Structure 1
């Protein structure tokens, strides 16, 4: 077995605060015989989706790279949290990651900013957590009998009615460790209320704004010509690109960034070319050229 994923709910894992609820889930991942799975940069473990005590499907999962996610992070442990859920959820999330050493202590703790499935920035990347040789050094005590044990804590924030009634948890007091919403996320949440277009990619729905698409892409501009009435929500089905490729395109349209582009540079180039996203085309070409030089 390459890895074992366990889930549990902490004794202090739900907070009810006026109209919002905070949920915290813990997941423990054990990679057995870690040394045997280091391999080349880019080799990865992909977890099963994390399941939360909510009424909504979350579909958060992680990619773990034992020897870095690229040549730039070779020699380091890397991790990426991702979600393919663009269902218009009002739930926000925050991640905490740490290594459990042979004494049961948390080491190399990393925390994400607050993320949300309602926005187009729904991944968190930590390319250089700790050097692999540091992990393998017995004097550091980071492996337990040769196994790498990782702890993931996921905070969810959202309306009370999103939490399932049978979710076994107790209330706890608000403290300074809980993730806070920033102004940018508040603005994104407000814009979510006015989405007027849905991208359908397999079983995934991506809720977006026509005006954002039109401003960034002449192809979308032509597509939505004379279709800008607020009462009319357009549905676009994409059958020849995977959901994570569409996600990267939308990330670029909303943020001018595509942090996971190097994982699928060719596919990103093709979708960017189709929709006339010249900036994304240039970014994809750069990654393709760099890959050929490796």
Structure 2
């Protein structure tokens, strides 16, 4: 089955018809709500915050932010940016504000089972950057959007360039100590590494968390932190500290302890250790879901 991002650019793929079909699907609503709630839990916000929703679409994930109860740190105020004008039009019909006039469109009826979109909306291509003033947001989320940046739609662009502009802009737009959680669907391990490395090069402390690793239903979350707080040298241990069933295995310390002393240069053991040091610098966090018993992991 073809991946949507391999068919057409997002602003064309999500036509008016596709955007409405996507938004009214009960299955999509359920999955989006689950992933948005998971991202919100990884942000670990304890007070109402100002959040950027990158690739907000029709506002399904934003509705979760707006409806977060006070006991869970909400409700949150959010701004959504998306490249698809048709997706944003559907969001407007669900109660968002006009990105051009700032006027709300409260006269339309909501679909059955839908929550009202209450965020401010902004039409923009994340692959060209995040056009907000430095330090504007406390946090950011992105649900099912980052994989679209891994495609270059013209000969003068590259996936690496689009990811670089996005993560550098996102890093600047977040306050010091802020966090971002990006759920995305990587095509393969190479694409997964490309996304994570782009975030790290932009200055983030970053790691990948996989729910349902090894299954068809695997969900990948890139957890990013902007200096200060619980982050030191890219260590994201603080992001998952206190999560039930999480075991931290810091490979940086293991490599420093074992090193390559005593190994013959060029031997199989030396090559494997060097490869491990180069490709797996940082942290690996392994966890078992208390709900499904399935393994999930964070890899840095």
User: By percentage of residues, which structure has more helix?
Assistant: 2
TM-score by length of 1: 0.29
TM-score by length of 2: 0.28
